């Protein structure tokens, strides 16, 4: 097979285009990207906006969150404060945590960090319930207490119909993160 050849003119065009691209790359890579707001979205709400960090609107909330997020699982002790400081100084403004991280130690540590550094107004903070340590079950039990029995029965019937319609109880429908998880689906109808 004959090797493919490139004309001198084509070579110079490609080389010039590559040179211009490389010259512009630092500018393009560090330019702040403004998020496009969805139609009907509220005015953007900024926290800790820093040059060089990219931000996006979180749904239609108006919250402009950094594209990089602090996943707080490893930050159970004050030893993490300097690292958290560095991330926030660079414009990260979203911290994600959960009760299951360190059995609540991470949430407590992140709270103490934000309080001692007086940074609560500079970040968006989220948490989530997890199936670990009974958190979800306890929260659902409290929620179920507030729903009338007839409404609760109706919700359960609708959830069971949806699970059957979608084949959610068939083997292989769910990825199990821990043993026995698939057996929890029928009782999780209110989630």
Question: What global pTM score does this model have?
Answer: 0.55
Q: Tell me: the pLDDT tens digits for 137-147?
A: 777 788 888 98
Beta bridge partners of 45: 63
Q: Tell me: the pLDDT tens digits for 25-38?
A: 555 444 444 555 56
Q: What is the pLDDT of residue 142?
A: 83
CB 154 within 8 A of CB 162: no
Q: How confident is the model at residue 172 (pLDDT cuts 50, 70, 90)?
A: low
Q: Tell me: the pLDDT tens digits for 64-79?
A: 999 999 998 888 899 9
Q: Which of 43-57, 120-134, 167-181 has the lowest mean pLDDT?
A: 167-181
Enumerate residues 6+ apart whose C-beta is below 8 A from 8. none
CA atoms within 13 Å, Cβ hemisphere of 85: 9
For the beta carbon of residue 81, count every other beta carbon within 10 angstroms: 15
CB 115 within 8 A of CB 89: no
Q: Measured between alpha carbons, how far is 27 from 39 in angstroms, rounded to an integer?
A: 29
For the beta carbon of residue 6, count every other beta carbon within 10 angstroms: 10
Q: What is the pLDDT of residue 16?
A: 47
Q: Measured between alpha carbons, how far is 168 from 181 in angstroms, rounded to an integer?
A: 13
CB 33 within 8 A of CB 64: no
Q: Measured between alpha carbons, how far is 189 from 152 in angstroms, rounded to an integer?
A: 10
């Amino acid at each position: 097979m004959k090797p493919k050849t490139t004309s001198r003119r084509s070579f110079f065009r490609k080389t010039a285009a590559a040179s211009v691209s490389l010259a512009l790359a630092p500018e393009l890579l560090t330019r702040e990207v403004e998020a496009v707001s969805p139609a009907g979205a509220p005015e953007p709400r900024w926290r800790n906006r820093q040059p060089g960090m990219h931000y996006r609107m979180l749904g239609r909330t108006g919250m402009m969150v950094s594209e990089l997020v602090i996943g707080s699982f490893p930050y159970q002790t004050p030893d993490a404060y300097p690292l958290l400081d560095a991330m926030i100084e660079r414009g990260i403004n979203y911290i994600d945590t959960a009760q299951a991280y360190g059995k609540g130690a991470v949430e407590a540590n992140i709270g103490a960090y934000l309080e001692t550094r007086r940074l609560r107004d500079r970040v968006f903070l989220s948490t989530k319930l997890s199936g670990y340590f009974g958190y979800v079950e306890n929260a659902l039990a409290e929620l179920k207490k507030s729903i009338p029995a007839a409404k609760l029965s109706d919700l359960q019937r609708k959830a069971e119909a949806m699970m059957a319609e979608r084949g959610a109880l068939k083997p292989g429908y769910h990825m199990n993160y821990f043993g026995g998880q698939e057996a929890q689906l029928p009782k999780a109808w209110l989630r």
